[in-house]
Amino acid sequence: MAIIAPFKAVRPVRDKVHLVATRPYYSYKKNVLKAKLEDNPFTFLHIINPEFGNDVKTKPNSTERFQQVKKRYDDFIERGILIQEDTARIYIYRQTKNGHAFTGIIAGASIEEYKVDKIKKHEATLTSRETMFTNYLDVVGFNAEPVLLSYKGNKILEQLLFQFTELRPEYEFTTTDCIKHELWVLSENNSLMVSKAFEAIDATYIADGHHRSASSIRLFDERQKRNELSCDNSKYFLSFFVEESSLKILEFNRLVKTLNGYKEESFLLALKTKGSLVEIAGACHPAENHQIHVCLKNRWFKFIPFDYLIENQHPVKSLDSDLLTELILTPILGIKDLKESDQIEFVPGIETLESMEQKINSGKFQVGFVLFPATIEQVKKVADNGMNMPPKSTWVEPKLRSGLTIYPINE
């Protein structure tokens, strides 16, 4: 049984929602971020960057900086830019990108279900990031960026979503990246119907947001130790639930700065000891699983590992991201730890192969690797077996906007 909880969202007033909601600040280039902060007084980025324009600034990721975030958040509420729901609700959100619609439910996910593995994970978290996020949530008292969870749907839930989205949404706007956003605020009765229908779902899977979810659980545990668990919302964390078949999973490709002492031809010979290698006409994506495309300066190759090197039944060792690490990155290029190495850059599948090629031709990187995307079945198999995928194995869409439905933790 999957438990989801309604909550009294803090959200933008209708006439300013298109100005408030924003992509995560780290997704913007510095010059674009500066321009948005200068030109839009309502953007949620002002809450996340509360000291923009100040000569004296607090230390990044410090308690003092987080206190400034909380102060700016309170200011947005006092000025009427953000309002809070009178009663706890569940929300339906739909994002349409390039003709593909992602429709799902925004609600609280159960921390108890996370702990008993009814909410399944496929990625390990970094302790340092977990600590930082936990402190952030503890100080600011809200969460503005949902964890993306997938589920295997049922007809009743599908029918409810269809029925409720036939009504006019509370929000409907398009952002400059040509993505359409719609949000429905369900009545208390309709919220109850959705949460009841959700109980038939056996388990959910974290598609994106492992650090955000782990930090919420850690905050819960720390507050429990401090005897500070009087808030119902602290038992849940902000989540966006999307039916698994509608998710879009792209690959994370790799750019590497070094050939580890190899010349191009000797590097290619080393690859041939691990699989077949065929030169191809130019930049293109692999056509199927276990094909890895390799880019050197102005040259592209298709690499296919030898069959005896692939453990097809193993949830992790059968993944192309793991094969690349175990067959090439570590033994040939000398990259021992993908999380710590400064010789590798991870490139999400939304970026063009031409941009990767340009970075290699510029001399900044020596070689690039393009992978075939993992499937939702592969992701679930890893999670069901309690294992972790290699770092940066999947880029999952939709990517949600921050500040659309803010989750107050201390209520």
> In angstroms, what is the C-alpha Rg of the chain?
23
Residues 112 and 228 in one domain: yes
Which backbone phi and psi does 403 adopt, to 5 degrees? Answer: 90, 5
Tokens of 378: 């592969």
Residues 115 and 214 in one domain: yes
Beta bridge mates, 396: 249
Q: Would you state the pLDDT for residue 126?
A: 78
Using alpha carbons, select from 164, 169, 167 the residue that is nearest to residue 190: 164
pLDDT tens readout for residues 378-405: 999 999 999 999 989 999 999 889 999 9
Contact criterion met (CB below 8 Å) for 319 and 341 = no
Residues 234 and 259 in one domain: no
Residues 402 and 351 in one domain: no
Report the CATH number at residue 373.
Answer: 3.30.1760.10
Cα dihedral sign, 123-126-129-134: positive
Residues 313 and 201 in one domain: no
DSSP H helices in 100-231: 111-115, 127-140, 155-164, 188-198, 210-225
Report, as ranges of residue numbers, the positions in the chain whose pLDDT lies below 50: none
Look-up of token digits 């296919």: 304
Residues 262 and 220 in one domain: no
Contact criterion met (CB below 8 Å) for 367 and 297 = no
Taking residue 256's Cβ as centre, other Cβ atoms within 10 Å add up to 21
Overall number of domains in the chain: 2
Residues 211 and 255 in one domain: no
Tokens of 299: 């040259």
DSSP H helices in 29-122: 30-39, 45-48, 63-78, 111-115
Q: Would you state the pLDDT for residue 217?
A: 95
Distance of CA 153 to the CA centre of its chain: 21
Taking residue 61's Cβ as centre, other Cβ atoms within 10 Å add up to 14
Contact criterion met (CB below 8 Å) for 271 and 375 = no
Which backbone phi and psi does 307 adopt, to 5 degrees? Answer: -55, -40
Residues 259 and 244 in one domain: no
The rounded distance, in Å, linking the Cα atoms of 95 and 150 is: 15
CA angle 213, 219, 220 (to 5 degrees): 90
Burial 8-42 (b: 16+ CB within 10 A, else e): ebbbbeeebbbebbbbebeebeeeebeebbeeeeb
Rounded (10°) CA dihedral 9, 12, 14, 19: -150
Around 330, how many Cα atoms within 13 Å sit in the side-chain half-sphere? 13
In the chain, what is the straight-line distance between the N-terminal and C-terminal CA atoms, in Å? 25
Contact criterion met (CB below 8 Å) for 133 and 215 = yes
DSSP 308: G
Question: Could you list the residue range(s) of the whole structural domain that residue 195 is in?
Answer: 4-248+397-408
**How confident is the prediction for the chain on average, in pLDDT?**
94
Q: Would you state the pLDDT for residue 298?
A: 87
Contact criterion met (CB below 8 Å) for 241 and 104 = yes
Residues 14 and 148 in one domain: yes
Residues 243 and 307 in one domain: no
Strands 248-256 and 367-370, by their bridges, are antiparallel
DSSP 397-409: EPPPPBTSSBEET
Residues 264 and 158 in one domain: no
Q: Is 408 exposed, middle or buried (0-12, 13-18, 19+ CB in 10 A)?
A: middle
Q: How many helices (H) and strands (E) does the chain have?
A: 13, 20
Residues 329 and 206 in one domain: no
The rounded distance, in Å, linking the Cα atoms of 326 and 317 is: 9
Look-up of token digits 């290619």: 268
**pTM, whole model, 2 decimals?**
0.92
Cis peptide before 41 (omega within 30 of 0): no
The rounded distance, in Å, linking the Cα atoms of 323 and 389 is: 11
